Amino acid sequence: MPVSNPTHPHFPSPCVASRRFRSPAALAALGLWFLALAAGAGEPDDANAVAARVGEREITVAEVDAAAALPLHDLAMEAYRVRLETLEGLVAGEGAGESGAEILLAPPMPPRVALTPAAGSIRGGGTDAPVTLAVYCNFQSRHCADLQPVLHALRERYGILLRQEHRDLPLPYHRHARMAAEAARCAGEQGRYWPYHDALYLRGGDFDAAALRAVARLAEVDADAIGACLAAGRQRTAVERDAASGRRIGLGSVPVSFVNGLYLRGPAGEARFRRLIDAELERLGYGIPPRLDAGILRAAPRSGLAWSVSGVAGRGAGRLALIAPEGSTGPGRAFRPGQRLEAGVMVARIEPERVYLDHDGRIEYLPVSGHAAEPVLLADGAPGDAEKGAVPPDPGMAEAGYRLPEPAAEITLPAALVTEALAEREALERQLEAAEHVVEGHALLRLGEIEPGGFYASLGLRAGDVLMRVNGEWIHADHNPLWRLLAEGVDIDLTVIRRGGLPRRFIYRAE
Number of alpha helices (DSSP H) and beta strands (DSSP E) in the chain: 17, 23
Q: What residue segments make up the domains of the chain, in order of their start?
A: 3-110, 115-283, 301-367, 395-510
Average pLDDT over residues 361-376: 67
Mean pLDDT to the nearest integer, 322-338: 81
pLDDT at residue 98, as a whole number:
58
Give the residue, 136 or 338, on which the prediction is more confident.
136
301-367: CATH topology = SH3 type barrels. (2.30.30)
pLDDT for 155 equals 86
Identify the three-state secondary structure at position 2. Answer: coil
Residue 180 pLDDT > 90, yes or no? yes
CB 138 within 8 A of CB 261: no
* Nearest to 297, CA basis, from 209, 377, 193, 205: 377
User: Class assignment of domain 115-283?
Assistant: alpha beta
pLDDT at 176 > cutoff 60: yes
Digit-coded pLDDT (tens) for 39-73: 444 454 577 888 898 998 988 888 888 888 899 99
Model pLDDT, residue 410: 79
* Res 317: pLDDT: 58
Task: Give the residue among 466, 484, 468, 461 at the shortest CA–CA distance from 214.
Answer: 461
Res. 400: pLDDT tops 80:
no
User: How far is Cα 170 from Cα 351, in angstroms, rounded to an integer?
Assistant: 38
Topology match between the domains 115-283 and 395-510: no
The yes-or-no verdict on residue 32 having pLDDT over 70 is no
Percent residues over pLDDT 90 in the chain: 37
Give the pLDDT band of residue 475 (cuts 50, 70, 90): very high
Most confident of 142-146, 185-189, 394-398: 185-189
Confidence (pLDDT) at 371? 47
Predicted confidence (pLDDT) per residue in 65-120, tens digit: 888 889 999 999 899 999 999 998 898 887 765 566 788 898 888 999 999 887 66
- The 10s digit of each residue's pLDDT in 423-445 is 999 999 999 999 888 887 888 99
360 compared with 198, residue with greater pLDDT: 198
Among 298, 317, 321, residue whose Cα is nearest residue 309: 321
Average confidence (pLDDT) over 240-264:
94
Lowest mean pLDDT across 139-143, 372-376, 440-444:
372-376
Average pLDDT score over the chain: 80
Distance CA 258, CA 266 (A): 11
Q: Are 10 and 109 in contact (CB under 8 A)?
A: no
CA-CA distance, 247 to 250, in Å (whole number)? Answer: 5
**What pLDDT, on a 0 to 100 scale, did the predictor assign at position 403?**
55
Helices 69-93 and 24-38, packing angle to 10 deg: 90
Residue 325 vs residue 121, higher pLDDT: 325
Q: Classify residue 197 by its DSSP letter.
A: H
Residue 280 pLDDT exceeds 70: yes
Q: Say what the pLDDT of residue 17 is.
A: 36
Tell me what percent of the residues of the chain surpass a pLDDT of 70: 81
Whether 19 shows a pLDDT value over 70: the answer reads: no
Does the pLDDT at position 297 exceed 90?
A: no
pLDDT > 70? residue 15 = no
Instruction: Report pTM.
Output: 0.69
Q: Express the helix, strand and coil content of the chain in percent, nearest 5 each.
A: 35, 25, 40
Cβ neighbours of residue 428 under 8 Å, at least 6 residues apart? 421, 454, 455, 456
- 377, 387 Cβ separation under 8 angstroms: no
CATH architecture assignment, domain 395-510: Roll (2.30)
Of 136, 152, 123, 115, residue with least CA distance to 505: 152
d(CA 444, CA 240): 45
54 alpha carbon, distance to own chain's centre: 46
Q: Tell me: pLDDT of 37 over 70.
A: no
